[in-house]
Amino acid sequence: MDAAFFKDKVIIVTGASSGIGLACAKEFGRLGACVVMAARRLEVLEALAPEVSADADRVLCVKTDVSVEADCKALIDKTVEKFGRIDVLVNNAGISMRAMFKDLDLKVLHRLMDVNFWGTVYCTKYALPWLLEARGSVVGVISIAGYSALPARTGYSASKYAIRGFLDTVRIEHLKDGLHVLVFAPGYTASNVRNAALTADGSAQGMTPLDEDNLMPAETVAKALAKGLRKRKSVVTLSTLGKATVWMQKRFPRLLDRLTYGYIAKETDSPFK
């Protein structure tokens, strides 16, 4: 059923060079979609494209820095130039951080908002006319940190909360014209996002405080996202921990604050220590 739904649909995935974005590109390609892969490293995208589809005409790679408005507009223009339509936009590109706010250079917060929030806004703005024409879908890949604050990730949580508020509003604005908006919140997922997370001075931390082998595989996340698209869900929250966190945030927020503090304090090289 999924394959029939996605057959020949044109799907843009930002942040498609690794992690959840790459897994989604592969999953959509497997289901018969035409996939547009967007990321900053064009050579990496082009090397990965054959894994998305054996038919080169069904994959378009576009060098895109989503923090740059002109790049986002060019991404949409090149997609329409090649395929003539856009059915789905997956706003996945994002970066993380790990540092206490009191120690943080504010340029880190600006960078997080530029990539995570403004990247979503730019791409959605320019894709919207085509998505409305196709009665298509716009997805924002957020995080459980977009529902419940994650300490030492002020910029990350703030950007994910902002994406959720932005897309929830877009959904209501287009309630009567067929646009589907999905706010998609995975739990902890195996990827390089924590290795590349910014520290207090803006440099990459170069390591992960978590055991990546025990986290949800990106391929599992991609399949869940495809299912959410097919069912045109408004919200998808993954993992038992993620669902429990959202539930507790609504009912026992003070208790959740303490539990979250304790959880982060146990991380390798925790900022709380």
Domain-located, residue 261? no
3-class secondary structure, 45: helix
* Bridge partner list, 271: none
d(CA 271, CA 194): 14
Domain-located, residue 57? yes
pLDDT by position in tens, the chain (length 273): 577 999 999 999 999 999 999 999 999 999 999 999 999 999 999 999 999 999 999 999 999 999 999 999 999 999 999 999 999 999 999 999 999 999 999 999 999 999 999 999 999 999 999 999 999 999 999 999 999 999 999 999 999 999 999 999 999 999 999 999 999 999 776 665 656 788 888 887 666 555 555 678 889 999 999 999 999 999 999 888 889 999 999 999 999 999 999 888 887 777 776
Secondary structure E strands in the chain: 10-14, 34-39, 59-63, 88-91, 137-141, 180-185, 235-237
Domain-located, residue 191? yes
d(CA 56, CA 40): 20
- 246 is written with which tokens? 């959202």
In the DSSP assignment, the letter for residue 271 is: T
On the 0-12 / 13-18 / 19+ scale of CB atoms within 10 A, 247 is middle
What lies within 8 Å, CB to CB, of 84 at 6+ separation is none
Active site residue ranges: 156
**Domain span including residue 187:** 2-240
Q: In what order do the strands lie in the sheet with 88-91?
A: 59-63, 34-39, 10-14, 88-91, 137-141, 180-185, 235-237
Domain-located, residue 124? yes
Q: Quote the pLDDT of residue 205.
A: 67
d(CA 238, CA 151): 20
Domain-located, residue 226? yes
What are the pLDDT digits (tens) for 11-51? 999 999 999 999 999 999 999 999 999 999 999 999 999 99
Residue 258: phi and psi, rounded to 5, are: -70, -40
Domain-located, residue 246? no
Q: At what angle do helices 69-83 and 119-134 cross, to 10 degrees?
A: 30
Give how many domains the chain has, as a whole number: 1
Which CATH number covers residue 161?
A: 3.40.50.720
3-class secondary structure, 49: helix
This prediction has a pTM of 0.92
Sign of the alpha-carbon torsion through 235, 238, 240, 242: negative
Domain-located, residue 254? no
Domain-located, residue 262? no
